Structure formats: structure tokens, C-alpha cells
Amino acid sequence: MFKLFIGLFLMMSVLMAESSLKLEIGGMSCGGCANGINESFEEDLSKYKVTVDYKTAIMDISSKDGSDIDIKEVLKALEELGFKGKVIHNQ
């Protein structure tokens, strides 16, 4: 039971909103992919500042006003673009 509680706690801590995130992006095959993600977020989720580096496959995202980032919203947006996101660091 204790292991279940710890597992749920760790999973929820990743899914809780934060004001700054670093994600690993899977499925990028060129620099155009990174540019496409940047442009899509600028248009559709302009409340976030996004930088995607194709060479490292890392996406840095922060809220422009310091509010919490909706991690589920970000992951869904990436999935709709054909990419998989994995949170590797949150602050």
C-alpha cells in the first residue's frame, strides 16, 4: 500500500502545473519540426514562451505571466502535432 501511495504521489507531482518545464520531444526528424512546434505554440498557446532545440530534442517552456503551465494541455498539443513529450524537469 505504501508503494502505491508513493507511486501515485510521484506521478501527480509530474502532472501538477508548474511555471517552467523542460520536455524531451520524441519524433522530430529535422529542424523544421522544431520550428513547427515553436510556431504552433506561438499561434495556439501564446500564453507560453517556447523554445525547441532540434539537436537536443529539448523543449523549454514557461508561462509569460508566471502562472502555472497546464502540462496536460502542452502534452496534448504536442501529440496533435505528431510528437511525444516527456517531462524531464519542472520548476
What does the pLDDT look like over 34-83, one tens digit per residue? 999 999 999 989 999 999 999 999 999 999 888 899 999 999 999 999 99
Q: What integer pLDDT is reported at residue 7 of this predicted model?
A: 45
Domains located in the chain, CATH noted: 17-90 (3.30.70.100)
Question: For residue 90, what pLDDT is reported?
Answer: 64
Pairing of strands 84-90, 20-26: antiparallel
Q: How far apart are CA 17 and CA 24, in angstroms?
A: 17
- Tell me the pLDDT tens digit for each residue of 22-41: 999 999 999 999 999 999 99
Is the Cβ–Cβ distance between 88 and 23 less than 8 Å? yes
HEC assignment per residue over 40-84: HHHHHCCCEEEEEECCCCEEEEEECCCCCECHHHHHHHHHHCCCE
Residue among 49, 52, 53 nearest 20 (CA): 49
